[in-house]
Structure 1
Amino acid sequence: MRGIYKRAALALAAGALVVGLAGCAAESAPVSDPSKGDNTQLAYTGAESADEQSFDTVTFGSYQGQDITWLALAEENGKTLLISESVLDAVPYDNTAEPYQWSVQSPRPQKDIEWATSSIRTWLNGEFLKAAFSADEQGAIAATTLTDAKNNVSHTAATAADPSVHAAEETTDQVFLLSLAEAKRYFANNAARVAHPTDYAVKQGVYVGVASNDEQPDGAAAWWLRSNGYYAGYASVVTDDGYVHGDGYRMAGELHDGFDDHGSELKSTLGGNIGVRPAIWVETSALS
């Protein structure tokens, strides 16, 4: 399905970073684009904002019988960066990662898995790509070079700022997850990052968080970032309230709030409870 642009305004809360299209233009280069990425995820800084943030939205492709609506995050060199407006599915970051255990004696995972070797990358660029887009639509999605960083558990403050120490393997992908830096760069604050799941994602067991101490579901879902977390075996996550959780959760899944009435998170044994918001760079001409 060819894209149809609309304008969506998000009411935002204070306490995060100014980004959006205007903010992106002030940066030297986006963290991922069709030609180059960088390793600034641990060093990104920006001003906080309580302003309303607006995105163009576009319909492009479909998944599980439902058209996909995307937010347009940036435009550069005839291509537009899109992220799905909703959480589309619930998939572990890596299905070979060590599953969580809730005993006090449970050790942290010893095996680190980078984006380059993760099962979610394979799924996004294989099963999801074929299911969500026609052949023509796939042809309009650019191959994007991505760079990122490994977990930084062993790094000092000095080495954490040195990309040569913690650079992860470079990849080229059509479909990807935002990095930690991109989640901060393109969204003005936590409220802008809040995303709700599709009915299909709910059926797949996506975690639906709680809005407050009244234990009522808020309807929003947590979603993966491609950046490693602080420890080996952890990946960064945007939580259901829009917070960028850089320490991350175990790649096999760890979200659990203890409330049985939010029980979808209890149904997954391998972290399918954390959701997926795919990102793509698309030829802008294919969206009009």
Structure 2
Amino acid sequence: MTRRRLLPAILLAGILASVLLLAGCKSTEKGVSTWSANGGDPSFEKQEEVSADKLMQFGVYPQSKADSKIQSDIKSKVTIDEETGLWNECDDETMYARYDLETGYFIYAAKVDGVRQEEQYYMQCGEDLFLVEPLQWIVLETVGSDSIIISNKVIDGGRKYSDLYGECTWETSSIRDWLNGTGDYDARTGSAYNTQLNFINRAFTSDEISRIQTVSLTAADNETYGTDGGASTTDKIYLLSAAEFEEYFKAEDSEINAMAYATDYAVARGVSVGEDSEANWWLRDPGAKTYMLGVNRAGTVTEGGYSVHDTTEGIRPVLRVPTSLLQRVEVSAE
């Protein structure tokens, strides 16, 4: 094949690589946060996080910021060739690293005495890389052989609840589309979600996705503000309703901390956090007009909610899976 015929393919590969790099963490239009320093609660104080022995693992997602040396090594040695537009691969005495075009991850493995160690995966967000790690979940309820689980931390953000202007419901929301990999990624341009951009395909394997239960959901009307909850839906991945939040987090016998803390990746995505990384997060019920309810940093439901165009709120996915798929988090002995 001649160089002239190769050029379009090379350019296409370079463009696709750039899209995937930005897909995990593109620049977002910052909304106006409605937070006060204490989350709107004068009695605000940090609560203990859920202990590791009570958490379960299922799926993976970018979370912790990578070690500075690993970041430096990957960025300096895995680059795009200026002539070919293709990614350079590094395989020297100290490390192996490459960029995987299909997943949008950097793959890295240190070498000890020339022997390649276990591979690790990193997602780029802005100028930093974030380690892809097992997702940790809190079991909210056991129903027969299934468990209803919510992410232990706020794992993503920087996303508008709705890409369109005007009133919004869970049914019509962009966040619902992003979580489930359905509908339009950007309603203004009509560009569809693909496997590199949505949550469900990045976090889970095809086999895991097939085992996640599809559940029927409703969102309550907001009588205080006269806003419509929207039509019922069936989804694999969803957000809690305000009533479910109260049931699971605020019941007298509940041992679950209502405050949530954000991962490094979520903060890089644009989630607003306090000094201990406590964050506010979305629910699926409507608030005031063009607002949706959320949980504030102090762990209580906001009265009027947050603007559907605010990008500083975080996301805690909820799903129902067979309990047999969940693995206990290994707790190292001290």
Task: Work out the CA distance in 2 between the residues paired with 1:56 and 1:66.
Answer: 18
Q: 1:59 aligns with which of 57, 60, 65?
A: 57
Amino acid at match of 1:62: V
1:118 alignment partner in structure 2: 173
8 A Cα contact 2:171 2:232, kept in partner: yes
Task: Work out the CA distance in 1 between the residues paired with 2:228 and 2:308.
Answer: 19
How much does 1:143 deviate? Answer: 0.1
How much does 1:246 deviate? Answer: 3.4
Task: Work out the CA distance in 2 between the residues paired with 1:124 and 1:244.
Answer: 22
Q: 1:167 to 1:240 in 2, by over 3 A?
A: closer
Q: 2:281 aligns with which of 219, 223, 240?
A: 223
8 A Cα contact 2:215 2:235, kept in partner: yes
8 A Cα contact 1:146 1:170, kept in partner: yes
Amino acid at match of 1:239: N
Q: Which ranges in structure 1 are unaligned for 5 or more consecutive residues? A: 1-14, 16-51, 98-110, 156-164, 210-216, 254-270
8 A Cα contact 1:61 1:68, kept in partner: yes
Amino acid at match of 1:242: G
Aligned-residue CA RMSD (Å): 2.6
Structure with more contact order per residue of length (Cα contacts < 8 Å, sep ≥ 6): 1
1:256 alignment partner in structure 2: none
Equivalent runs, 1:83-162 vs 2, <5 Å: 83-90=150-157, 91-97=159-165, 111-126=166-181, 127-153=198-224, 155=226
How much does 1:206 deviate? Answer: 0.5
Task: Work out the CA distance in 1 between the residues paired with 2:246 and 2:225.
Answer: 24
1:277 counterpart = 2:319: no
Q: 1:241 to 1:167 in 2, by over 3 A?
A: closer
Residues paired across the two proteins, number: 191
SS at match of 1:237: strand
1:77 counterpart = 2:144: yes
SS at match of 1:121: helix
How much does 1:166 deviate? Answer: 5.2
Percent identity for Structure 1 against Structure 2 = 38
SS at match of 1:58: strand
Task: Work out the CA distance in 2 between the residues paired with 1:86 and 1:53.
Answer: 10
> CA offsets, 1:10-57, max 9 Å, x none?
xxxxx9xxxxxxxxxxxxxxxxxxxxxxxxxxxxxxxxxxxx998931
Equivalent runs, 1:3-42 vs 2, <5 Å: none
How much does 1:243 deviate? Answer: 1.4
> CA offsets, 1:67-90, max 9 Å, x none?
100000001122100000010011
Amino acid at match of 1:232: K
1:197 alignment partner in structure 2: 262
Q: 1:75 to 1:117 in 2, by over 3 A?
A: same
- Which has the higher Rg, Structure 1 or Structure 2? 2
SS at match of 1:71: strand
How much does 1:218 deviate? Answer: 3.2
How much does 1:278 deviate? Answer: 0.3
Q: 1:72 to 1:207 in 2, by over 3 A?
A: same
Amino acid at match of 2:232: E
Q: 1:53 to 1:206 in 2, by over 3 A?
A: closer
SS at match of 1:117: coil
Q: 1:87 to 1:154 in 2, by over 3 A?
A: closer
Amino acid at match of 1:240: R
Task: Work out the CA distance in 2 between the residues paired with 1:93 and 1:167.
Answer: 14
1:247 counterpart = 2:301: no
Amino acid at match of 1:226: R
8 A Cα contact 1:153 1:232, kept in partner: no
After TM superposition, the score normalised by the length of structure 2 is 0.53
Q: 1:207 to 1:134 in 2, by over 3 A?
A: same
SS at match of 1:62: strand
